[in-house]
Amino acid sequence: MLLHVPSGGGPTVLVSIPRDSYVSIPGRGKNKINAAFAFGGPQLLVRTVEQATGVTIDEYVETGLGGYATLVDAIGGVNVCSPRAMKDKKAGLDIPKGCQDMDGATALGYARARYSDPRGDLGRVERQRQVLAAIAGKTLSPGVILAPWRAVPAASAGGGALVVDDGTTPVGLARFVLAMRAVSGGDGLSLTVPIGNPALRTPAGEAVSWDTAKAKKLFTALETDDTEAIAPLAAEQKR
């Protein structure tokens, strides 16, 4: 995901990049974007995203699947609204439609479920954004602004729920939480990179190709800090 906090007063933007996006990976040729992390960890992933999007990445925050569960349990659960009932054996998920309190295991299943969703990975990335926003929304408090780690005891205890790069300061982490809160509260924009072909045949298997024109418009707006220009793309996806 790309989280952009504008300096000019426009809306915060959270963009999901589908893991099967077919892109060029520096030194590795073309492949699915999640292969970049497997090949070279966070450093190569960041380089790959920067090359594919033209957007400069300033700070890096990482959480794995287990991190979702740890973070949610650390803050006493989150309230998430599911647009439909979901049952996914592989994800260990069985929930009704509607808003409900989720513990770590349920939130993890909701965020990772793929095979029960007719939209596959495209539906999953939307749910991942939803859970992350719910986590950030619950952790915001006066104490978070001064010491963000207090909101996530598991992280401060070294549980590995969150990993940040060396340049991420407490202020930067607080800005991250505030930005996610904005998305959760409806003051920000949330969308997926516009898709051209969700079932592209490639040597790496079935992959996702982006809508070149719309993706370029999105990334140019991010790089130039013109987040107001992204609103029509986000609205189109909601429809």
Strand residues in 103-212 grouped as ranges (E):
163-164, 189-192, 195-202, 205-210
Lowest average pLDDT, out of 36-40, 101-105, 110-114, 201-205, goes to 110-114
Residue-level pLDDT at 161: 62
Residue 77 has pLDDT above 90, yes or no: no
Two tokens, residue 135: 């986590």
pLDDT for the residue numbered 162: 65
Rounded to two decimals, what is the model's pTM?
Answer: 0.78
Per-residue pLDDT, 121 = 75
> SS3 letters for 73-111?
HHCCCEEEEECCCEEECCCCEEECCEEEEECHHHHHHHH
Most confident of 130-139, 146-155, 165-174, 177-186: 130-139
β-strands 189-192, 13-16 pairing: parallel
Mean pLDDT of 57-85: 83
Contacts of 118 (CB under 8 A, 6+ apart): none
Is the pLDDT at 141 greater than 50? The verdict is no
The closest of 123, 168, 154 to 3, measured between CA atoms, is 168
Instruction: Tell which wins on pLDDT, 40 or 92.
Output: 40
pLDDT surpassing 50 at residue 87? yes
Q: How far, in Å, CA of 180 to CA of 137, rounded? A: 7
Q: What pLDDT score does 160 carry?
A: 56
pLDDT of 112 reads 86
Q: 49 versus 71: which is more confidently predicted? A: 49
Averaged over 166-175, what is the pLDDT? 73
**Cβ–Cβ under 8 Å, residues 15 and 2:** yes
Q: Does the pLDDT value for residue 156 go beyond 50?
A: no
Q: What is the pLDDT of residue 206?
A: 93
| CA-based radius of gyration for the chain | 17
The DSSP symbol for 193 reads P
Give residue 144's pLDDT band: very low, low, confident or very high (50, 70, 90): very low
